[in-house]
Amino acid sequence: MADTKKKVTAEIVPVSDNVIRNLIYTVRGQQVMMDSDLAMLYQVETRRLNESVKRNANRFPESFCFQATKEEYEALMSQIATSNEGRGGRRKLPYFFTEPGIAMLSSVLHSETAVNVSVKIMNAFVEMRRFMANNAMLFERIADVELKQLEYQKSTDEKFEKVFEYISDHAETEQKIFFDGQIYDAFSLMVSLIQKAEKDIILIDGYVDVDTLNLLSKKQDGVEVTIYTYASAKLTKADAAAFNAQYPTLTVKKTQIFHDRFMILDHSAVYHIGASIKDAGKKCFALSLLQDPDMLTTLLNRLESV
């Protein structure tokens, strides 16, 4: 008889407190343990553990034991950093046991192992509650620091976004030089400039033609276009009318007073262009954003006299 008792005692595998603490999760705002983990600690099959619970359903209200939803189980599994061995291949969603539910389990399993392990589990729950209570102020400070970090990160992200927007709007087009053959690059830049305009575009170019209108057709809807060009430019009234029928509103004015090419966007930004935009990329030319606001004012004032 004595030998039998020694054999039973030897089969009880000691479980460390640290192992138990690592198997306590938070689900639905409660500290719980999973049925398969409890079965492993109690040295019984998960199926047998759950069958014992079903036979004693009146002892396990929802506050003692509840079945996880698919979303809860998947979320928990994605957070567990340790091996999922023994949890894979489940056909049914697991049951979670709260602290009173775990205490009740030891009374329905009728094993010495269940009793001994339940005591350790209860101690682990008590220790965790004591730790959380003693460090509540620390957790509150950590939460406050994390909140401030999130606010700072949001503010920093917004600042970086504004910087990137500025770079996108200005840095790439402050100065550009294109060599012969870079037709696509020049075309792309011209289109990007035209699309920046929100109200109006003024183009000063002595040699406009239908190809010029093809570029200007990329403008935003509602943006008005005024072209100042030579009387000899290859742009007919029919061309302008066809453009206006689909991309209103275009106004063409004839003048001989300008030699260089300029494009003014929304009366606020002026670009000096070294070649007619219809020929951009065919030969080497440069494009520059004029930084001096007085130049813009002087140019606009000069246009009023045309």
* pLDDT tens string 190-249: 888 899 999 999 999 999 999 899 889 999 999 999 999 999 999 999 999 999 999 999
The tokens describing 138, both together, are: 């620390």
In contact, 246 and 174? CB cutoff 8 Å:
no
pTM of the model: 0.46
Between 90 and 103, the higher pLDDT residue: 103
Q: How confident is the model at residue 103 (pLDDT cuts 50, 70, 90)?
A: confident
CA distance 271 to 281: 16
pLDDT of residue 283: 77
**pLDDT, average across residues 148-155:** 61
**pLDDT, average across residues 109-127:** 80
pLDDT of residue 149: 65
pLDDT of residue 249: 92
Q: How confident is the model at residue 89 (pLDDT cuts 50, 70, 90)?
A: low
**pLDDT, average across residues 105-115:** 80
**pLDDT, average across residues 128-145:** 64
pLDDT > 50? residue 125:
yes
In contact, 242 and 145? CB cutoff 8 Å:
no
Q: How confident is the model at residue 4 (pLDDT cuts 50, 70, 90)?
A: very low
Closest CA to 33 of 99, 90, 104: 99
pLDDT of residue 84: 44
Edge-to-edge, what's the strand order for the sheet holding 30-34?
Answer: 25-27, 30-34, 95-97, 65-67
Q: How confident is the model at residue 154 (pLDDT cuts 50, 70, 90)?
A: low
Domains and CATH numbers, the chain: 2-137 (no CATH), 171-304 (3.30.870.10)
Helix pair angle (35-42, 46-55), 10° resolution: 100
pLDDT > 50? residue 82:
no
pLDDT of residue 86: 44
Between 96 and 110, the higher pLDDT residue: 96
- When mean pLDDT is compared over 57-66, 163-172, 282-291, the highest value belongs to 57-66
pLDDT of residue 140: 62
**pLDDT, average across residues 135-143:** 61
Between 13 and 118, the higher pLDDT residue: 118
pLDDT > 80? residue 40:
yes
pLDDT of residue 26: 87
The distance of Cα 248 from the centroid of its chain, to the nearest Å, equals 38
Mean pLDDT, the chain, rounded, equals: 80
